[in-house]
Each structure stands twice: as C-alpha cells, then as structure tokens.
Amino acid sequence: MKNIGFLSFGHWSPSPQSRARSASDALLQSLELAVAAEELGADGAYFRVHHFASQLSAPFPLLAAIGARTSRIEIGTGVIDMRYENPLYMAEDAGAADLVSGGRLQLGISRGSPEQVIDGFRYFGYEPAEGSDHAAMAREHTRVFLEVIKGEGFAQPNPRPMFPNPPGLLRIEPHSPGLRDRIWWGAGTRQTAEWAGQQGMNLMSSTLLTEDTGVPFHRLQAEQIERFRTAWRAAGHAREPRVSVSRSIFPVVNDVDRAYFSREAGSRDQVGHLEGGVARFGKTYAGEPDRLVKDLAEDEAIAAADTLLLTVPNQLGVDYNAHLLDSVLRHLAPELGWR
C-alpha cells in the first residue's frame, strides 16, 4: 500500500487556454480538486508555495478551508520557503489549520527554490545574520519553528495581563499536539536529506535533485532516501519516518489524454544547470497504462517511499485533473500493489 496524493503549483494565467485565469480561480479550484480527490479515494492534497508569482503563495487559509471541507485526506505543502517565514507567526497559522483539519496537516518546508525576484526574502524583512547566508537563515527559522510547535512554554508572562495567564512560561497558541511529527523537509541533495533525518523531519523529495552522479534519477533519489533513513536511525529517533516522492504520471486512456501528453511518451531524465550547479530532473511518465505499469515498477525511489505525490497541470481544470487522479488510482495503483 502507498499513500497517493496530488501536488499542485496553483498556476493561473489570463490565457484563454487556462481554466485558472485568476488567483481566485486557482484558490477555489484547488479547494474543489481536494474535495474531488477525497471522493476518488486519494490520500492527500499538497500545494507548492511561491512568492512574487502567479501561483499559490499564502498556504494556510487554503489548507484550513480544505480541512473544513474534507474529512480524511492529508493536507500539505511542498514546500514552504523558510527564508520568508516568521517562525512564531507560522506556528500559530499551522496550529490553527491543523486543528481545523483534525490533525491532518503535513507541512513540507525547505530552503526554497529559484525565485522570481532577487533575494525576495529581503522584501519580507529578513536578512541573513552577519557572516551567514540565506540557507543558514532558512535553517535557523526552521529550528525556531520546530521548537515552538512542541508546545512548551518559553515567553515571560506579563504580571498584569488583560486576561489571567496559566502558571509558568507561555507557549504559542493555538497548539496542535502531534504537528511536530508531521513536518517534512524538502531535500534537493543527499546531504540535505541526511540533515533532515538528523533533525527528525520526514523527507520530501521532488522531481529535481541539485546534484548528479551519472545514474538515473530514480536511483539517485533512492540513494538519497536510504541515506536519510540511515541518518534517522543514527540519530535515535523513536518513530518511523515518512518519505514522499513526486512524479509526473499521465496515463493515456482517451483521446484527450493523447492530445495533451502523447509527446511525453519518450521522456527521459534531463541534466542541466540550476543556481550555478548541476541538477538532474526526473522524466515524465506518459503512455498507455500497461506500459506505465512496467516502467513505474522499475522506479526504485517510488518503491522506497511510502507516499507518492502526483504533479498535476492545474490550469487544465478540476474535472480533467480529477480524471488524471482517477486514472492512476484505477489503472495503475492496483497493478503496482499501491492499492
């Protein structure tokens, strides 16, 4: 068995070809797709977070709304860029959204990905400390966030408060028990996956790794997962960690699918340069279901993960993306032992 959810970038565009032509469209359609995914039997609704772009940015109102409209599926991000975050305010937002959903939040966080603007976090009021850099700042924000969501008091109470305080130091409210175990780190390398394991965060790995050893993407990612689990065990954490991988998977079962994705049938890994370094991008899986079953059975990283996130082309609309999810759940998952 494998948890299967979707991951949406939440793009919108005024193009006549886009079903999401405004921010309102992208938000409301994200909500409707999450409801449809639950009805289809999928396990999760996850959303990318990007700033200064025609994409989803502030995740917590959307996550809370989905939590109120659904009852079973996991609700998460993939990922929140911690360079932009006030960790205490984020802890309040996350606690509130998690309580609304009944404890179904799965928060993917990370250093972030290439941006639309130069050092966008500076416009949000955050500057790396002297002698530090933006990656270290993201990790420091993460450290504080992980600490305060434990629910322990740390703030000195006012001796003359407006309302009576409980005894001792005060904590962030609202507090949602168990949220700390549902934080994931989006790792782009084997080394950062090891760091995530040491910190006691689950691992979230996408269709991109910012390193390359010459082996196929799925094998490099499988090695990343193994190194994460080794680091987790060495750190002595009590619980079992979770691991998710993302894939672009498009079963071709009708003429509309064929029109959209037949050109992706011969997709291969791509190697390029990203932010001054070498990166390997995983291939797209597109084709007839019987062929996809064979190809996906050979993907070592999917086999090693407990959660698979299907990247969806949200601008094609709710109905079509629900069809894609249904095709994976109906035609692929049972044959691959995912269901």
Report CA-CA distances (Å) from 23 to 98, 291, 315: 24, 37, 12
Q: What sign for the dihedral angle of Cα 327, 331, 336, 338? A: positive
Exposure string for 199-234, b = 16+ CB within 10 A, e = fewer:
bbbbbbbbbbbbebeeebbbebbbbbbebbbebbee
CA 67/CA 135 separation, integer angstroms? 31
CA 208/CA 315 separation, integer angstroms? 21
Mind listing the pLDDT tens digit of every residue in the chain (339 residues)?
A: 899 999 999 999 999 999 999 999 999 999 999 999 999 999 999 999 999 999 999 999 999 999 999 999 999 999 999 999 999 999 999 999 999 999 999 999 999 877 899 999 999 999 999 999 999 999 999 999 999 999 999 999 999 999 999 999 999 999 999 999 999 999 999 999 999 999 999 999 999 999 999 999 999 999 999 999 999 999 999 999 999 999 999 999 999 999 999 989 889 999 988 877 888 999 999 999 999 999 999 999 999 999 999 999 999 999 999 999 999 999 999 999 999
The neighbouring-strand residues paired with 155 are 170
Q: Global pTM?
A: 0.96
Residue 118, amino acid: I
The neighbouring-strand residues paired with 105 are 75
> First-to-last CA distance in the chain?
5
Retrieve residue 307's tokens.
């959660």
> Burial level of 312, CB count in 10 A (0-12/13-18/19+)?
buried
Which class would CATH give 3-336?
alpha beta
CA 242/CA 261 separation, integer angstroms? 31
DSSP, collapsed to helix, strand or coil, labels residue 180 as: helix
**What are phi and psi for residue 325, nearest 5 degrees?**
-60, -45
CA 69/CA 5 separation, integer angstroms? 17
Retrieve residue 33's tokens.
């797709």
